[in-house]
Amino acid sequence: MNVVILAAGMGKRMRSDLPKVLHPLAGKPLLAHVVDCARSLGPGRIVVVYGHGGETVVRAIKGDDLRWALQEPQLGTGHAVMQALPHLDPEVPTLVLYGDVPLTTHETLARLVGAAGADKLGLLTVELADPSGYGRIVRDGGRIVRVIEHKDADAATREIREVNTGILVAPTAALARWLGALSNDNAQKEYYLTDVVAAAVHDRVAVVSAQPADVSETLGVNSKRQLAELERLFQNRVATKLMDDGVSLADPARLDVRGDLLCGRDVSIDVNCVFEGRVVIDDGASVGANCVIRDTHIGAGAQILPFTLIEDSSIGARARIGPYARLRPGTDLGEETHVGNFVEMKNTRMAARSKANHLSYLGDTVVGERVNIGAGTITCNYDGANKYQTVIEDDAFIGSDTQLVAPVRVGRGATLGAGTTLTRDAPEHKLTMSRTQQTTVESWKRPVKKPAAKS
């Protein structure tokens, strides 16, 4: 089949220079959600009708499978679909979606397409307690005969609670014929896509309907407030699935997943955590409150303590990270490693059972097994122009307040005394330190504060 996605609207109520369909929901543009859902149906062609935002929209949404049709000026939904007609295969049905309706599911659309088959007009409809503003579904003996927009409806028609969502599927050749006969003789002076219903009835084409599993699948975004409401609906959907899969969430309402979060058994996640990109959490791992984790694999039984930021990293089984740790891209931690409070790592590999528990920076570093890194340790990896590597071999002990000026190597089993500035390699199994001699000035007296002068 063909899929047409209407994405030309201005979105005045968003009060933003960003095109409406590019506003983010769960970390990606509204339009991207709709495109992904369309792709899940396996269509032969996807055509995106764009207008406001122009090439900004085209550049933001990637895919060689997408075709683009410009709607300029914007004269209604029927006019928008007209712009897509040259790109459509007339031998298969066309499904029409909306770039600002991001929560529609594969299952709902598959049900609609199945109901319509190859020769019927299928409408996605829903019943609302308050249908104000929506086009009403007018039936005669149960058969759909017309859709009347709210602004054109009389008082009796406005009592109808079944409304049109705008999503439809139709035989493409017939759709082209119906669009060609549209009129803009209405309150908005626009060409309504919904008028094809009356045309189908006139042509004795059966009009069928399908309903979504949840009303939220049909909600669109016209304001920042609605965007925030849909964000919570989306996150609630994600949280529900995670809990159904066995994940323990301290509060499902305080979770944000902006990508893919894959969890094993007995995973627990505390409040206010944000997961971005692709995050995998293995069995028995836990994530404390207020963590931000992006593109990371967390091993079985690992503990991520509160207020930890992790990006593009790998955490070994039974590791303990945080609180207040920052792991930057390229961090790879072995099993049972410890990275404590206010420790930052970047492009660093730390092997099993090594520890950096306090107030340290390790950049461009390779750390062996069973290494202890004292508080205040810094690898000086940058000379202002180039980066250099530090290597700390197995069983080394790095004293507190040590600076390792790369490139430098600490041999296996070596010990660095506290306060050392290491500029040359430290040999294996030896104590290396660099300190000035400690002295005591016997005659020194602490200064005494002078009394304030009288005014």
Distance, CA of 84 to chain centre: 29
Catalytic residue among 33, 150, 358, 429: 358
Which pairs from 111-115 meet CB under 8 Å and 24+ separation? 111/210, 112/167, 112/169, 112/210, 113/1, 113/41, 113/169, 115/208, 115/209, 115/210
Rounded Cα distance between 414 and 397, Å, is 6
Whether 141 contacts 129, CB under 8 Å: no
Rounded Cα distance between 227 and 427, Å, is 60
Distance, CA of 307 to chain centre: 20
141 in the Ramachandran plot: left (φ > 0), alpha (ψ -120 to 50) or beta? Answer: left
184 phi, psi to nearest 5 deg: -105, 30
Rounded Cα distance between 157 and 136, Å, is 7
How many helices (DSSP H) and strands (DSSP E) are in the chain? 7, 36
**CA geometry: angle at 268 spanning 360 and 298, to 5°?**
45
Active site residue 358: yes
Buried b (16+ CB within 10 A) or exposed e, 348-371: bbbbbbbbbbebbbbbbbbbbbbb
Q: Which residue has the tokens 């599927």?
A: 169
Whether 126 contacts 161, CB under 8 Å: no
Question: For the CA atoms of the chain, what is the radius of gyration?
Answer: 31
Please give the positions annotated as active site: 358
